[in-house]
Amino acid sequence: MTRNSKHCRSHCPINFVLETFGDKWTLLIIRDLMFKEKRTYNEFLQSDEKISTNILADRLRKLEEHEIVTKTVAADNRSKLIYSLTTKGKDLLPIMLEITAWSAKHDTSTNTPDSFKDVFESSKHEMIAKILSELQ
């Protein structure tokens, strides 16, 4: 949903994010790309939350439309497609880390390691730089 679309509800920055990520699945794909080194359709399908194939295809298409991910053919196999985050997608990292910090604090059964909070609070910038370098 771009700002030029007839479906855009307002020009509020919170709403802008909701138009793109305001559903139960899109952000999980970003998470898999950003933190779990997943790159292909079947890898996304295998995540714990069990996204269905039609929803996955739809969300990947929308993420491409929004220029948050790009799709390329794998070097070693022409029938395999590799999804990657664009710069715009990688810019979501601070949001993802703040979300992780909030859930780590407020979800008593989170799987976030205790060490995350300490490292994040004391060296946020270094953590961001390190993760971005690992994304190439």
Give the interface with DNA as residue ranges (CB under 7 A): 23-25, 40-43, 50-55, 57-58, 60-61, 71, 76-81
Determine the Cα–Cα distance for residues 106 and 31; give it in Å rounded to an integer: 19
Q: Which two tokens stand for residue 110?
A: 């989170």
User: Contacting its own copies (CB under 8 A), which of 37, 52, 57, 105?
Assistant: 105
What is the CA 25 to chain-centroid distance, rounded?
10
User: Contacting its own copies (CB under 8 A), which of 39, 81, 82, 112?
Assistant: 112
User: Contacting its own copies (CB under 8 A), which of 5, 6, 48, 77?
Assistant: 48
Minimum distance, C-beta of residue 67 to its own copies, in the bound complex (Å): 9
Residue 67 backbone class (left: φ over 0; alpha: ψ -120 to 50; beta: rest): left
Binder of residue 40, out of its own copies, DNA, none (CB less than 5 to 8 A by kind): DNA
> 12, 16, 34, 22: which is closest to 96 by C-alpha?
34
Residue found by looking up tokens 């969300």 in the block:
59
Asked if residue 99 binds its own copies (CB under 8 A), the reply is yes
Contact 69, 92 (CB under 8 A): no
Q: Under the rule (CB under 8 A), what is the footprint of its own copies?
A: 3-4, 9-19, 22-24, 27-28, 31, 47-50, 88, 91-92, 94-96, 98-112
